[in-house]
Structures are given as structure tokens and as C-alpha cells.
Amino acid sequence: MRHFGYLDDAVRDHLFHREPETFDRDSDAGVLASALGATLYSPATRGTLATDIAKQAARGVTSMVLCLEDSIDDREVVGAEQNLVEQLAAFAGSGAEGPLLFIRVRHPEQITDLAERLGDSLDVLTGFVLPKFEPDSGARYLKALDEAIAMSGRRLFAMPVLESPSIAYIEHRRAVLAELAELIAVHRERILAVRIGATDFQSAYALRRSRDLTAYDVHLVAQLIGDIVNVFGRADGTGHVISGPVWEYFPQGERLFKPQLRRTPFAEAEDPEAVELRTRLISADLDGLIRELELDKANGLLGKTAIHPSHVAVIHAMSVVTHEEYCDAGDILAESAAGGGVLRSAYTNKMNEVKPHRAWAQAVMRRARAFGVAREDVTFVDLLAAGVME
């Protein structure tokens, strides 16, 4: 697998100064965490799940979650489990190249039960998503994961979701996050990424952001993201990849606020269809998603939960390292080896202070491996055009 692998070689050569690297289920955990990208959720009740997985992989999806939790009715759980076992067996038997696959469970016992029922089909699975992750439930989830690994002899990862009211409530937050950090540190080799459940956080206060607002416009969620990054996103070797919250909206009608995509980048793009692309993105409510992705990146988040295939190409295009970022990161790391200092950016528009910016530069290079580096004259508009219109 690799990001943008569905594009023609000539198109990728035109877009990328450095192309995304390939990876598979057996790659290093750090590589997989950086390459998750848009993690597309699908309810485990779908009768066409095996073909859906293969179809989405062909369209550029590199990670999927098959959900047994909030996306299905409580009365459907038994049938959904059976369907999931059958569909994963069918997918495994097809030999199709697939994305990184995870199962979102409801309770710890499902992990060991499903691992046993899946048998050899477990080979196509990368791990489990652990919802409502709190100190007590988290310990039980991770114990069950260890048991499944011991039973199957296969490498399996966990992606805990921080979304419970105990984290949201300010009087408990600091203590709960500290406990979770200790628990996750003990199981560090099992944790692929930490996910943020902004929808559940908002639910604890009867809130819901509109399609004209980002998660960062909801002050409660913005504060929670900041606190989670503070604890789990540190650059001292204890941090983890933290993914951005889901964008909930699909194409629909009338807008309350002005679109958030400026006309200029689209009008100046080389692609003659770029202006029409802007219209399509706005009509699909994806301009808000683009704005939120910029804020995710600024706040240290990488990758994003997706619940609609139309979101995937946008998330991946916005994850590509710009040529300017790559030049700055390379200069910083080269100068860091020489001892530090301050230097002018190759683009002559900023100061690069070597020691403070070193961790940022290393993060940019990890993202460059996963998503590639755009050519100097290629903008996110060109990447969006290639991904959305392909």
C-alpha cells in the first residue's frame, strides 16, 4: 500500500518532489501510525463489507474501522458479529490488497471472542479500536488484547478513543488523563495511535457543531484537544500519534455562512478545472473540513476519522508535506547535526531556529515518508484535483 498509489505514475511524478513510501501490515508501528490518514468507518452490519473494503482500498483508503459500537443498533450486535466474521473470511479468501483494518468493539470480551472466531482470517486485521477508553475499562481492553495476541500468535495493535465524560469534566480531567498516560505507557508497544471522540465530548453537554464551524470553534472541544495533546503528544519520546476528530457532514443544501475556501488559490492553479473543483468542495460541505484539517495540523494532530468516502481524498491531500515545509525541515535537521543556531528559510520568508524547531522538523519528515512531498509549484489545490477528480 501507499498513499496516492491509485494515481497513474505520470500523475504522481508531476505532483511529487518525493513520492509517498510503500507500507504493509507488517511495517514498523511508527510507519503505520503516520500512514493511517483518513480512517474510514463502516458499520459491521453491511452485507457487502468484503467487497466494500476492496473497493475503498482501490480508491485510496489505507485504513478502515469496522464498527460494532455506536454505528449499529444494540439489537444488531449478534448479527453484526457473525456478519463481520463471515465478511472478513471472504475478504481474506479473496487475496485482495486491503487497507489496515481495525474492529471497533463494545467491550473487552469481544476482542478475545472475535480473535478466536476469526481464526486464520485474523491475518487481515491490524488491530482493535477501544471506545470510551478510561482507566478501568482501558486496563480490561488491553488485557484482552494481550490474551488475543498470545492465543493467535499475531501482532495486533490498539487505538484507544478518548471520548468519555470523565475526561471532559474539568474536575476529573487532569487525574484521568494522568492515569491513562500511565496505563498507555505500560502498553506502549501495543498502542498505534490515540483517537479523539469529539462527538461524545459534545454529547456530554448537549452540543453539536454545525457544518459552518470547526471543532476548534467549540471552546470545550478545543480545550480538550489541547489537554489531550499536552499529555499524549509530547516530543520527548513519550508521545503518540493523535488523530483528529470526525467531520460529520455530507453534501446538502443552503449555507448560513460564507464558504471558507478563498477563490484565489483555485483561480491561480494550473488545472483548468480547479475553479469548478472549488464549487464542488463547497457544495459538498468540504470547505469546513479543509479548514478543520489545517487546524488539526497546527495543533499536532495527524490523520482523521472519516465517515464518508468523499472525505478521504481531501484528508490525504491536506496531509502531503509542502515543498516549503520539506526544505525548512531538511535545513533544520542538517544544521542541528552541526550544532544549532538560527538560519533564514530557503523561501526567505521566516526564521528557522534550529533547536526549538527540531522536533517539528522530525515530525515533518515522518509525514513526508507516509504522504510524500509536493513539488515546488504544486499546491493543495492540485493535489485535491488529482485525488477528487480521479
292 is in an annotated binding site: no
146 is in an annotated binding site: no
DSSP one-letter string for 174-190:
HHHHHHHHHHHHHTGGG
Please give the Cα distance from 356 to 360 (Å, whole number).
8
Q: What are φ and ψ of residue 240, in 5° steps?
A: -130, 160
Please give the Cα distance from 316 to 61 (Å, whole number).
9
Q: What contacts 37, CB < 8 A, 6 or more positions away? A: 3, 62, 63, 303, 304, 312, 315, 316, 319, 370, 371
Q: What contacts 193, CB < 8 A, 6 or more positions away? A: 33, 36, 159, 240, 241, 242, 243, 303
Q: Position 119: which residue type?
A: G
Please give the Cα distance from 320 to 318 (Å, whole number).
6
H or E segment and range at residue 41:
strand 38-43
Where does residue 78 rank: exposed (0-12), middle (13-18), buried (19+ CB within 10 A)? exposed
Please give the Cα distance from 85 to 228 (Å, whole number).
34
Task: Let me know how many helices (H) and strands (E) the chain has, helices first.
Answer: 17, 12
Q: What contacts 330, CB < 8 A, 6 or more positions away? A: 361, 365
CA torsion sign for 251, 255, 258, 263 is positive
Binding-site residue ranges = 171, 200
Binding-site residue ranges for Mg(2+) = 171, 200
